Structure 1
Amino acid sequence: MKIGDNYLCLHTLSDVEDLPGEVATDSRYEKLSTDRSDCRLSFAAPIGLLLPCNHIYNQYVFIDDSAANLQKFEKMAKNMHSLSRYSRSNQINKEWIDEYLNEAHSFGLTSVRCHCNVMAWSDDREELKRIRNEVGSQLAQMECKPRHNTVDTPTLFWAAIPGNAADFPAEESFYTFIEQAVCFFSQETNYRNSPSPFGIKMVDRLTGKPLHLDISDLPMKKGIITNRNKFVLGPSGSGKSFFMNHLVRQYYEQGTHVVLVDTGNSYQGLCEMINKKTKGGDGIYFTYTEEKPISFNPFYTDDFVYDVEKKDSIKTLLLTLWKSEDDKITKTESGELGSAVTAYIDRIKADRSITPNFNTFYEFMRDDYRHELESRAIKVGKDDFNIDNFLTTLRQYYSGGRYDFLLNSRENIDLLGKRFIVFEIDAIKENRELFPVVTIIIMEAFINKMRRLKGIRKQLIVEEAWKALSSASMSEYLKYLYKTVRKYFGEAIVVTQEVDDIISSPVVKEAIINNSDCKILLDQRKYMNKFDAIQDLLGLTDKERGQILSINMANNPNRLYKEVWIGLGGTQNAVYATEVSAEEYLTFTTEETEKMEVLALADKLGSIELAIKQLADKKRSKT
């Protein structure tokens, strides 16, 4: 049969003799299963999405009058019994019919007729032979007898058109029960593009088909998630930073303000590309070095507006500088420091000649506030608030101290107008004093951006640096950020590979995981022995566990991609693939040798974009 330019081949399941001895709703798919997880697919999956050719799988269930059917079988059984003396096969048939009737009456089952067929096509006759063999082998996987139908093809094609089922030839169906009939349904469906105008481009893991996916706005509108925050977990080498480059690039191109706190130069290529494209107007890359350390001024505002949140963030910063992780902060200490910050702000508002920075605040505490404490009617003892200890501990951040550059910046970083900013703080990630301070000031600057940019999407991405925020003194600040960011059209994203820290930290669970409705996990096979703890912590179902542990288990060797699991609100979840062009790959890569090759060619040609284009063309020609 030929339709247009295509030749049709048809395989049918229309006789009980062609069917397996038993059927099930689902079966274990070995390619994506491990010894610790099951990937379950429907019984008919081999002739559904797993059949890699153009095809339609048709299934019919005819719900006739069940009582009339059973009565017909009773009559048939009597006839077979009468004829059993002439042929042993009649006696066997009678036993089969009796077994069918016993099942129907014992369990109250509904007798139905069923038919399945696979229509496959191609415009090349040689290709059609290969397709015919492939369909046959997939049916054999289901333990069905492949029957290539060459007689009823036009009739069955006509009956498969919606509305034409009444013309189905009755002799092509077999009798069974509803329970067995629905086992032949193919449960797997293709991924669908999101109807939302906002989103990211991912790929169907099975076919490589591009997909438009919204993991922020549409799920919020539908009530699937209550916040846009994301939690990303993947071991080293799983493609974590590559996926995040892919995500932030697309968010940036759709108008998002992105602030990144990184500890591994993962976003250097993308940031430099944006910088070149905008001619220095965007794509700002701050790196901490001994010669040129990052410096801030937490007391600075361009309009002298200090709201409650700004004052609280300054107070939290000062408490972090003053107290160690193990020290308990009393209500009096927190209250007095809050009062001191308010009094200092009142002073600089009244006298604009005072430069707002840490130096002038320190002098205010040392001279004015200490005097004010001593002159109070109700004395504040050193046990309640030890101002000398505060001044001694923070002396190193005052003029002449070893960290005097940190909080007294003369050039205030303009975070407000820039849409893509990366803070690379790898050089100080092991410094217990500087690392928490720099991280918290960056986050405070993001909160200022978050409050002031109305109606614009904001994104804060913290890679590994979240460990600096997991101390007891910082946990309240972190909870505040995660709960507040959603009200300002923003999202906080934490990216990590340190699974032990996640499992052991109550701060992470309370502040980050409980307030991140979108969870993104990459290849977890390195964490196989710890995955039970991860599953409990993230509240994953056994189905989700099976999906996650199937990542990268059966990748197509002819395509270059890594798979990623995305779960939304515990109700929607799927595995997608991150597959990009050669140009994007060279921009996002975190492999040292590839990065060095790009940068060396960029120095030679004077343009990173030109270098990437040349290397991408070279890569394609080799392929």
Structure 2
Amino acid sequence: MNSVVRQLHEQNTDVVMVDTGNSYEGLCEYLGGKYISYTEEKPITMNPFRINREEMNVEKTGFLKNLVLLIWKGTQGTITKTEDRLIEHVITEYYDAYFNGFEGFTPQQREDLRKSLVIDDRNRGEQKGESEQERAARIEDTINKIESRRMKLKVKELSFNSFYEYSVQRIPDICDENRITGIDISTYRYMMKDFYRGGNHDKTLNENMDSSLFDETFIVFEIDSIKDDPLLFPLVTLIIMDVFLQKMRIKKGRKVLVIEEAWKAIASPLMAEYIKFMYKTARKFWASVGVVTQEIQDIIGSEIVKEAIINNSDVVMLLDQSKFRERFDTIKAILGLTDVDCKKIFTINRLENKEGRSFFREVFIRRGTTSGVYGVEEPHECYMTYTTERAEKEALKLYKQELGCSHQEAIEAYCRDWEASGIGKSLPFAQKVNETGHVLNLCSECESQ
């Protein structure tokens, strides 16, 4: 994947990555990209509620609805149709209150509400001894009270804080006005409060993300520190996806979003439709979305993954699948692989094609209906850019500090010494560097520096 995204970047593609494990830190530093890590002291923050009038559409409402439902119910929570519609209703009214304000019902709205209240009366069979005039007066009084309550609700600025304040007041009113029962407003208020002013995560959804990110061409969001948090992990993943959507629309060139293992956090019934939407929308804006997994079981064990991700992926890349050979029929069926594809897959790293070549790994790539096995053969400089091996990173850091040079120059000096050492693999050479504690200067070019 380092090799893939490096080539995409060289082809003037804007790359946004969601990572858990520092897999792209070296490449990001080499390319001069933006590496953003989530920490408790400095969390990744954004204000997804702050939008302009033109952005207020079904798609944006759907995203914010998923966001609110995720906080309220969690990734595996059961959402009723009433709850889904209720949150959508509140979000629509919230933005209407901000952009237009509510100064009272229109004559048509009053008439519709009046008819609705008359029907409610009839269905409940109440107020039988009441005259038509008394009933009309009571209904008019009810409409005035509903109108008065809404007029008191003001939205002065767009943020999670103001949405929380608006929703905890408006939801009970909506339920009362529409005779809705079974909504647990206390749980809603309790779960949402964690992201409200004074809560543990009050900055996460209330502070704008750095606007300069829209101009960055290589961004890595590293969220390994929250990968075990059942709420923050999917939430942050979701809002990073929304940041990509905004970037995708604004910038005219090619864009790609790569989600590493974090995609599992959002592969839930709640997020399935949003993931499908992401894939389909990306195509309209010369963009693509990719997910990466190291466990094939993650793919074959989820109907949501199949429907939301696999069915919308035109490119499939597979590494060595030999350990799954005995049960590959399931994978074959889910990925839509042909018998010819499977024969190719089981040649990966198995052929006698290594002679005269430096070290390489093979990968199966299917693009549409075309497939093949390719060797990924990178020079030492690329290997040292991508490596996550601690000893190798420490040795490279030593070169950079002692030579007082750039990241690229340190890699070049390290690789020259590595090749001059005659040591075939980088790790033994890195260990030798670390044991020595200084730059080895094994080649004449290094000595001339």
Distance 1:480 1:286, change over 3 A: same
Query: Does the 8 Å CA contact 1:415/1:446 hold for their aligned counterparts?
Result: no
Q: What displacement does 1:391 show?
A: 1.4
Query: Does the 8 Å CA contact 1:304/1:349 hold for their aligned counterparts?
Result: no
Q: Percent identity among equivalent residues?
A: 43
Residue 398 of structure 2 is aligned with which of 600, 604, 607? 600
Query: Does the 8 Å CA contact 1:297/1:412 hold for their aligned counterparts?
Result: no
Superposition pairs for residues 44-123 of structure 1, below 5 Å? none
Cα distance in 2 for partners of 1:355, 1:414 equals 22
Greater strand proportion: 1
The equivalent residue for 2:271 is 474
Q: What displacement does 1:412 show?
A: 4.2
Cα distance in 2 for partners of 1:502, 1:393 equals 31
SS in 1 for 2:44: coil
For 1:247, the aligned partner's letter is V
Cα distance in 2 for partners of 1:313, 1:344 equals 15
For 2:343, the aligned partner's letter is G
Distance 1:597 1:301, change over 3 A: farther
Greater helix proportion: 2
Distance 1:609 1:302, change over 3 A: farther
Query: Does the 8 Å CA contact 1:296/1:413 hold for their aligned counterparts?
Result: no
SS in 2 for 1:432: coil
After superposition, give the CA deviation of every residue in 1:414-437 in whole Å (9 maximum; x if it has no partner). Answer: 442221111011111111111110
Cα distance in 2 for partners of 1:414, 1:345 equals 26
State TM-score, norm by structure 1.
0.56
Residue 380 of structure 1 is aligned with which of 158, 171, 180? 180
Distance 1:439 1:411, change over 3 A: closer
Provide runs of 4+ in structure 1 moved above 6 Å: none
Superposition pairs for residues 202-281 of structure 1, below 5 Å? 244-275=1-32
The answer to whether 1:360 aligns with 2:168 is no
The answer to whether 1:438 aligns with 2:236 is yes
Cα distance in 1 for partners of 2:174, 2:209 equals 34
Cα distance in 2 for partners of 1:302, 1:597 equals 49
**Which is greater in Rg?**
1
For 2:13, the aligned partner's letter is T
Q: What displacement does 1:532 show?
A: 3.0
SS in 2 for 1:461: strand
Query: Does the 8 Å CA contact 2:20/2:224 hold for their aligned counterparts?
Result: yes
After superposition, give the CA deviation of every residue in 1:196-235 in whole Å (9 maximum; x if it has no partner). Answer: xxxxxxxxxxxxxxxxxxxxxxxxxxxxxxxxxxxxxxxx
After superposition, give the CA deviation of every residue in 1:80-110 in whole Å (9 maximum; x if it has no partner). Answer: xxxxxxxxxxxxxxxxxxxxxxxxxxxxxxx
The equivalent residue for 1:539 is 336
The equivalent residue for 1:12 is none
Unmatched runs of 5 consecutive residues or more in structure 1: 1-243, 276-282
Query: Does the 8 Å CA contact 2:35/2:219 hold for their aligned counterparts?
Result: yes
Q: What displacement does 1:473 show?
A: 0.8
Superposition pairs for residues 31-50 of structure 1, below 5 Å? none
After superposition, give the CA deviation of every residue in 1:361-404 in whole Å (9 maximum; x if it has no partner). Answer: 1111123x14642662x3222x1x43333112211111122222
Residue 498 of structure 1 is aligned with which of 295, 300, 318? 295
- Of residues 397-406 and 428-437 in structure 1, the stretch that sits farther from structure 2 once superposed is 397-406
The answer to whether 1:577 aligns with 2:379 is no
Distance 1:530 1:561, change over 3 A: same
Distance 1:324 1:291, change over 3 A: closer
Q: CA RMSD in A?
A: 2.2
SS in 2 for 1:397: coil
Q: What displacement does 1:592 show?
A: 2.7
Distance 1:306 1:344, change over 3 A: same
Residue 64 of structure 2 is aligned with which of 284, 298, 314? 314
Superposition pairs for residues 290-329 of structure 1, below 5 Å? 290-301=40-51, 305-329=55-79
The answer to whether 1:348 aligns with 2:98 is yes
The equivalent residue for 1:338 is 88
After superposition, give the CA deviation of every residue in 1:498-530 in whole Å (9 maximum; x if it has no partner). Answer: 111211100111111111121111122333344
SS in 1 for 2:194: helix
Superposition pairs for residues 130-149 of structure 1, below 5 Å? none
Larger relative contact order, structure 1 or 2 (CA cutoff 8 Å, min sep 6): 2
The answer to whether 1:612 aligns with 2:411 is yes
Distance 1:477 1:349, change over 3 A: same
Query: Does the 8 Å CA contact 2:361/2:375 hold for their aligned counterparts?
Result: yes
SS in 2 for 1:422: strand
The answer to whether 1:525 aligns with 2:322 is yes
Cα distance in 1 for partners of 2:301, 2:68 equals 27
The answer to whether 1:548 aligns with 2:345 is yes
Q: What displacement does 1:606 show?
A: 4.5
After superposition, give the CA deviation of every residue in 1:50-78 in whole Å (9 maximum; x if it has no partner). Answer: xxxxxxxxxxxxxxxxxxxxxxxxxxxxx
The equivalent residue for 1:193 is none
The equivalent residue for 1:128 is none
SS in 1 for 2:378: coil
For 1:362, the aligned partner's letter is Y
